[in-house]
Structure 1
Amino acid sequence: MKIYKLNATDGAARTGEVATPHGIIRTPAFMPVGTQATVKGMHPEAVRETGADVVLGNTYHLMLRPGAERVAALGGLHKFMNWPHVILTDSGGFQVMSLSAMRKIDENAVTFRSHIDGSTHVLTPERAIEIQTLLGSDIVMQLDECVRLPAERAEVEKAMRLSLRWAERCQRAFAPVRDGRSLFAIVQGGDDVALREESARELNAMDFPGYAIGGLAVGEPQEVMLRMLEVVAPLLPADKPRYLMGVGTPDDLLKAVARGIDMFDCVMPTRNGRHGLAFSRFGPINLKNARHADDPRPFDEESPCAAARTYSRAYLHHLTKTNEMLGAILLTTINIAYYQELMAGARAAIAAKAFASFADGVAAGWAAGDLPTR
């Protein structure tokens, strides 16, 4: 099944469209993370107003609360969270790594102890597909094992091969789904070129509608991540979307776009917004900094985001210092809007064959910002 339309290229950078049952994802695309059926601090309508085409939900967390069967009985995740647009669900593979103290892995499954109440849950590849099908997500991810870097090659290789076998099981489990939804495979292999190449070749042979690159931004330097992208992206089909999971900073995004990546997700804009750090054309700005206490200027009078244009830096500083809920809401909105603005600019620049100059201009703006970055 072909879901990707390539509209233009500029070097390795691409702009295109991913077709799903709930709409088109314009790429390059940043997906706000809505782990538990909500992008923290934002109404769904506000998320859409930033320009987002798609949000991400999480199999592991929604499996625990409120439960996939309950969501299905209530009409599916789109209706449940009042988001009638595209939803991608992560399979829970990241939690295999992040909750390593509370799980065990064997050939058949990951067995978790819930971080909520200690109850035991078994997540097989088949159950991961079943949960995502019940949720009704437009793009479903295979279950994989993600390894934190640095790691021994033997550990990385073992996880990569298990992920390949689980990809086959996920594909078989997903085969009866005939409603336009798509299953993406995940390339693993850590920071090892040969393992990454093998994973990409094996998954290509299985002919998935889309491909993700997982297991990066998990402890390795940026240059290692970029090297892995330079190895993997050219091996993936040019007529299918490429998704870099869990990445990252604005700089990460632009450098990955330059290497042929189409889709991204990361908690960085929402998490940092809740803790007083805003992203902007000036670079990252810490609103907790006392410098902002008497600054009456808008956060950014040129931003397309109303929250950035309307509220003063002094007020945002006050909200952040007093831990007022509105501060987290406004800064999260500003951050998601900036990420969407960045992706829209990248799409336009690629179409105009001017991506390199666009990326250089963005970086120059960060370097010459009129506010301190820390």
Structure 2
Amino acid sequence: MTKPRKIVLAFSGGLDTSVILKWLQLEYDAEIVTFTADLGQGEELEAARHRALALGVKPENIFIEDLRHELVSEYAFPVFRANAAYEWNYLMGTPIARPLVAKRQIEIARQVGADAVAHGATGKGNDQLRFELGYYALAPDIQVIAPWREWDMAGRAQLVDFADLHGIPVTKDKRGGAPYSADANLLHISCEGKELEDPWITPEDGAWVRTKSPEEAPDRPTTIEIDFVKGDPVAIDGEALDPVALLTRLNELGSENGIGRIDIVDTRYVGMKCRGLFETPGGTIWLHAHRAIESITLDRGEAHLKDELMPRYAELIYNGYWFAPEREMLQALVDKSQERVTGTVRLKLYKGNVIVEGRKSPNSLYSQDLVTFEEGGGYHQRDATGFIRLNALRLRQLGNVLKDVR
């Protein structure tokens, strides 16, 4: 490939992407455009602007944009409608954010006439796939630059040496031993590396940053109600909230009550196992509430089919196939299932636990007349005899064949 003239870089302003920015300037002699997304990570993003300017990026080539609303409404909402969790535990805060960043990078590349995009993901992890599968799905002919797969720098020490050589300021916390590898947005924060690379070692308290420990959570429970409309949460305790405000409030409630911590070993798409800590306080409450409202609004066939498809759906997102047709097909099925998922769930939050205390819906399939132990509701218990005998027919036939060998 010919060297690109203009490159749009996903830029956080940290050590890695600052080194990448300088390396791209030297290696490709190209004009660099930086894109920094506000995903609710809780950092002062103007620092990224100052760092880009200090590294010679033109002011008109620096993009810093608030994508929090799109993250929640266009990415988190669809995923939570599916109750999606990778390997049944991970609520995928990072996987849902990467395709959003990739999409906006491609849009900026078209806007400024760039012929390449770049990211700071390493060659060992999943994020390289999440970025690049998104790039290629949206711009099939775009040139992609992944410096960690091109240069000969093997780790943090070499990055620090490169930064010192080229006058890139390095904060004290980036020198010496490697810090935790973290990724944060409005939905979650992850923590990997250091002692966590040994799956037997108990994490130090400082590795958890977004939630109180359950032991330190209040001794009195917090009771809340969440309203849903067509599968999406719209209000807390009767107060209508926009998606960002709603997730922010759930995060506050979860954090205060020690909710949303998990310590898991998951399997990366490239094949290796990785241990990580994930804090998803608001999302954990959200998932429990959503499953509760589904329990009275979805038919058994709908609910069970969703549960069967969920692992496949979650795997697609985890592996970076957000824009793949099969993910969109599954999303259409999920969204169809949510047409009647409207109602209210009452929850008790207490020392790391989310306890469902009640649920109601104008579309409820729950019938007290049918479920009561008293006679009524048009259900005749004697009808179960024929139902059982028909379902037992094949088992009885098999039993007759095997009765002498069992």
Do the structures match in fold with TM over 0.5?
no
Larger Rg: 2
Which category describes the TM-score, using the shorter chain as reference length? under 0.3
